[in-house]
Amino acid sequence: MGILYGIGVGVGDPELITVKGLRLLQQAPVVAFPAGVGGKPGMAEQIVVSWLQPQQTRLSLAFPYVQDEAELLQAWQAAAAQVWQSLQQGDVAFACEGDISFYSTFTYLAQTLQAAHPDVMIQTVPGICSPMAAASVLGIPLTVRTQRLMVLPALYRVSDLEAALQQADVLVLMKVSSVYEKVWSVLKQHQLLQQSHVVVRATLPDQKVYSDLRDRPSLDLPYFSILVVQVR
């Protein structure tokens, strides 16, 4: 029986994977990763593809982008069954975008696998997650001294943003592309546009940075966009 390694591979730049993560990734007979959309490679696969060896088996696992719990559970169970089958032959390295414990698909895979097979061996390797990558791209500290950091993984209600602005010194909004205009209006009301930044596809060659958003009430943003607000 092999070990399932969950490896955080960072947010885009292939060189931002850890030394330990790279070693385990290249040693595993099977490398798994979330499948991309529309038949295209997913982000994790794109990050690790240059590090993989010809003899390694690549295992693409389908994780649908839906909210339906029944459909998600079915997908997690199917993925866990595929990984379990591969573990009968040896180790499996699961390449996960960002950090393995930070809103990670791997969490659901590991929990589903453990529920079905309590004796399965799982080890994780941390990676760089998007708020840290965005701060690096911006050339600013994410937090200093006693500042309180708050991360909203997705914004469904404007009231959540209003509450976060009251509590946080630094606010990070992930998956901001679909709600950017609503967020912009709230930040304008609070006079925070000048100290707000949007980072698109951080650390990749085509990354973009928008700072001081006062003249940007709308932006055409892709999925991998993150907004950092220096509230106080």
Tokens for 128, please give them.
């760089």
pTM of the model: 0.91
**pLDDT confidence of 28, banded at 50, 70, 90?**
very high
Helix ranges restricted to H, the chain: 19-27, 43-48, 69-87, 105-116, 130-138, 158-167, 180-189
pLDDT at position 139: 96
Place domain 3-125 in its CATH homologous superfamily. Answer: Tetrapyrrole methylase, N-terminal domain (3.40.1010.10)
* Each residue's pLDDT tens digit, 139-180: 999 999 999 999 999 888 889 999 999 999 999 999 999 999
pLDDT at position 68: 80
Neighbours of 38 (CB within 10 A): 4
Give me the residue spans of the domains in the chain: 3-125, 130-230
Neighbours of 68 (CB within 10 A): 10
- Separation of alpha carbons 2 and 211, rounded Å: 47
Fold of domain 130-230? 3.30.950
Choice between 4 and 66, residue whose per-residue pLDDT is larger: 4
* Each residue's pLDDT tens digit, 101-131: 999 999 999 999 999 999 999 999 999 999 9
**Does 130-230 match 3-125 at the fold level?**
no
